[in-house]
């Protein structure tokens, strides 16, 4: 197949691009590079089946030749990024998704939308299943990302119902691994960078809020299975193992061998108290479950940051 990946130079997009090429397909990668980096794709310079276009997906997407699938991952995706680029985040979710759907419709291609667990907001149901409608503040600081993805899901389903576009929607929970930016503001990269520098680990609130952490290779496997499945409704992908932020800080200190202290700061507005996926749909319909234990994934991620010493300081907002 010939596949288009938007956001291809980002953390997830670059890993997904690698997987698609490994499966034998051709890939056209698109990225505006406001949060992605060419470094994530540098190893593909001599790959004849890969083409890169530097473009904002909020502008019309024009691809010559055959297109069999569109995987729409373009968007700032960490709190630091979408709070710094609020308008671009909304445009990527609205205009970018419309343009990706328009390309898929014009070429008779399948489209997979990368949505997020953020559509559940600060959930009142735990763990979160796909049937839960969420508890989102539509005008809070995080709404630029939450509502962009909720709109993206709505227009994706509208194109499926109105025009028969063959669509998929994945709701991605916290993901980590190599190629995370040291300054992206996500809690795993924040903690690792701070620990390697011997700086205090920044915990927001008292650290009792919980998250689940899925290693990137596990997530990409689930995305590929969903792309090839006949499922149009949203599907959660993430690791159902639940950890408090305090527990994560202890695991990072152990993985890095750091003696860093832990420093508490006020909890940001609308920061979710709990976040954990119900993956029963993915297990039943995709035969998928994450395989990489958190300790193992953290070790691999620490190795990446040791080999790519970060010069930027971690972001100020939690992941």
Residue 140 neighbours by CB distance under 10 Å: 15
Element (H, E) at 117: none
Q: How many CA atoms lie within 13 A of 106 on its CB side?
A: 14
141's CB contacts (< 8 A; 6+ apart) are 83, 268, 269, 270
* C-alpha torsion sign, points 234, 239, 240, 246: negative
Bond prior to 127 in cis (omega within 30° of 0): yes
Which residues carry out catalysis? 145
The values of phi and psi at residue 20, to 5°, are -65, -40
* CA–CA dist 179, 39 (Å, integer): 9
Q: Is the separation of the CB atoms in 278 and 236 below 8 Å? A: yes
Question: In whole angstroms, what separates CA 273 from the centre of its chain?
Answer: 19
* CA–CA dist 110, 167 (Å, integer): 6
Tell me the pairing of strands 210-212 and 242-244. Answer: antiparallel
Which among 172, 174, 192, 171 has a CA at the least distance from the CA of 183?
Answer: 192
89: exposed, middle or buried (C-beta count within 10 Å: 0-12, 13-18, 19+)?
A: buried
């Amino acid at each position: 197949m010939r596949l288009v990946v938007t956001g291809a130079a980002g953390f997830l997009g670059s890993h997904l691009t690698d997987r698609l090429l490994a499966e034998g397909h051709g890939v056209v990668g698109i990225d505006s590079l406001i949060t992605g980096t060419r470094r994530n794709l540098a190893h593909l310079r001599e790959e004849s089946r890969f083409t890169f276009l530097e473009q904002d997906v909020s502008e019309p997407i024009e691809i010559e030749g055959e297109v069999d699938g569109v995987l729409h991952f373009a968007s700032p995706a960490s709190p630091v990024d979408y709070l710094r680029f609020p308008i671009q985040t909304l445009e990527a979710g609205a205009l970018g998704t419309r343009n990706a759907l328009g390309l898929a419709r014009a070429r008779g291609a399948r489209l997979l939308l990368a949505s997020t667990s953020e559509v559940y907001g600060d959930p009142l149901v735990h763990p979160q299943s796909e049937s839960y409608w969420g508890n989102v503040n539509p005008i809070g600081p995080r709404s630029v990302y939450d509502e962009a993805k909720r709109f993206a899901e709505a227009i994706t389903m509208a194109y499926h119902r109105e025009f028969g576009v063959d669509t998929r929607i994945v709701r991605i929970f916290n993901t980590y691994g190599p190629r995370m930016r040291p300054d992206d503001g996500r809690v795993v990269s924040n903690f690792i960078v701070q620990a390697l520098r011997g700086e205090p680990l920044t915990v927001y609130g008292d650290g009792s809020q919980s998250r689940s952490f899925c290693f990137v290779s596990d997530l990409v496997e689930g995305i590929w299975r969903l792309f090839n499945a006949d499922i149009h409704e949203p599907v959660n992908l993430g690791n159902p193992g639940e950890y408090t932020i305090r527990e994560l800080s202890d695991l990072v200190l152990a993985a890095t061998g750091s003696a860093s202290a832990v420093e508490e700061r006020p909890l940001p507005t609308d920061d979710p108290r709990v976040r954990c996926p119900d993956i029963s749909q993915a297990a039943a319909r995709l035969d998928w479950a994450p395989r990489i234990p958190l300790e193992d994934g953290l070790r691999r991620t620490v190795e990446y940051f040791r080999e790519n010493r970060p010069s930027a300081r971690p972001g100020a907002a939690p992941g």
